[in-house]
Amino acid sequence: MRRYEVFPNHPVSPLQIAEFDPAPLGNTEVAVAIKAVSLNFRDILVTRNTYFANIVDGLVPCSDGAGEVVAVGKDVKGLAVGDRVATLFFPHWYSGKADARALSDARGAESTGAFTERFITDESGLVKLPDSLSYAEAATLPCAAVTAWNSLFEAGDLKPGQTVLLLGTGGVSIFALQFAKAAGAKVIITSSDDAKLERAKALGADHGINYKTHPEWHEEVLRLTGGAGVDVVLEVGGPGTLERSLMSVGVGGRIAYIGVLTGLAGAANPVMLIPKASSIQGIFVGSRAMFADMLDAIAAHGIKPVIDREFPFEEAPAALKHMENGGHFGKIVIRVGD
């Protein structure tokens, strides 16, 4: 069997293919033949060891995988050989609010990830898939899509007719665009690229703002909302964007603070949240229950994950480079085991 392992301090190849023999299956464990993984921006941070968790040499990366169950331990109750499954980002966050246990063991950073031909986990680490999703499509869901779902409908409490602001056209934002439109919300999306804004509009975005040609893009957001600002912001940037998101959010609005595309530091001042009685909340992916609700919505609305490009297993470093270059729209997938 083959898998990828991360060596963050390696000067040339932080991502390496390794041969391995799968461990014997425990009584409550399940073996999955992974068919596809998807990349997240965090996988770049993991290969550089700049992620929140310390990355140990030899870690199997990637939180997001989908595949077929090929063996189950004798006490496994909920899964059987032949089931189609996806990995959970947090194998111990079942439902409700997160506690410290729920947020431990994040796949592909604090625990073994999915970038392997044979993934072995307790059955609690997997979710069953509907037949409507291909393995490549399902592999896009565990991190970016659940994060978008949580930000919009749990933390963001988004209601039909409200307005959402999305930054850029990466994995989280494009899922959020699809979910928000399915829920009857209005979407304003930013991008560095007019062609990407046109693609976002084809997916239903109501307004696009080029943040390169409009560096003060919050002014456009306020203009487009008649000065009122938006109800929900999915803040995936950080320094430079957070300041503008704080100015873009309206009275009673919610900022879901998700990402670090522009860095970890910054000087944003949250004081303007006070007169608007608005709020900001850190988001960390989501629970199994959120994943299940999201799968129901995907099936009900016939939502198809937007895959920018698929790479063969051997070309993972090129796939990571493609993500780093930022030319993608939506998700990047790598096939496994073909």
Angstrom distance (rounded) from CA 12 to CA 312? 20
Residue 286 DSSP symbol: -
Angle between the 316-325 and 41-48 helix axes, to the nearest 10 degrees? 110
Which one, of 292, 212, 225, lies nearest residue 253 by Cα? Answer: 225
Give SS3 for 151: helix
User: 162 vs 241, which CB is nearer to ligand NAP?
Assistant: 241
To the nearest whole angstrom, how small is the minimum distance from the Cβ of residue 244 to ligand NAP?
A: 9
CA 217, 223, 229, 233 dihedral sign is: negative
User: 184 vs 263, which CB is nearer to ligand NAP?
Assistant: 263
To the nearest whole angstrom, how small is the minimum distance from the Cβ of residue 264 to ligand NAP?
A: 10
User: 143 vs 307, which CB is nearer to ligand NAP?
Assistant: 143
To the nearest whole angstrom, how small is the minimum distance from the Cβ of residue 317 to ligand NAP?
A: 16
Give SS3 for 51: coil
To the nearest whole angstrom, how small is the minimum distance from the Cβ of residue 211 to ligand NAP?
A: 5
User: 120 vs 200, which CB is nearer to ligand NAP?
Assistant: 200
77 half-sphere exposure, CB direction, 13 A CA radius: 1
Could you tell me which residues come within 8 angstroms of residue 11 by beta carbon, excluding any fewer than 6 positions away?
none
Interface residue list for ligand NAP (CB under 6 A): 40-42, 143-144, 147, 167-173, 190-193, 196, 211, 236-237, 240-241, 258-262, 283-285, 323, 326
To the nearest whole angstrom, how small is the minimum distance from the Cβ of residue 172 to ligand NAP?
A: 4
User: 237 vs 250, which CB is nearer to ligand NAP?
Assistant: 237
To the nearest whole angstrom, how small is the minimum distance from the Cβ of residue 59 to ligand NAP?
A: 17
Angstrom distance (rounded) from CA 29 to CA 54? 26
Residue nearest to ligand NAP (CB): 170
To the nearest whole angstrom, how small is the minimum distance from the Cβ of residue 83 to ligand NAP?
A: 26
Angstrom distance (rounded) from CA 332 to CA 323? 7
Angstrom distance (rounded) from CA 115 to CA 109? 12
User: 35 vs 328, which CB is nearer to ligand NAP?
Assistant: 328
Angstrom distance (rounded) from CA 188 to CA 165? 5
To the nearest whole angstrom, how small is the minimum distance from the Cβ of residue 145 to ligand NAP?
A: 9
User: 111 vs 173, which CB is nearer to ligand NAP?
Assistant: 173
Q: Which helix (H) or strand (E) holds 251?
A: strand 249-257
User: 70 vs 103, which CB is nearer to ligand NAP?
Assistant: 103
What are the C-alpha distances in Å from 58 to residues 6, 7, 16, 253, 282? 5, 6, 9, 43, 30
User: 120 vs 260, which CB is nearer to ligand NAP?
Assistant: 260
Find the DSSP H helices in the chain.
41-48, 135-138, 146-149, 171-182, 194-202, 217-224, 242-248, 273-276, 288-301, 316-325
To the nearest whole angstrom, how small is the minimum distance from the Cβ of residue 168 to ligand NAP?
A: 2
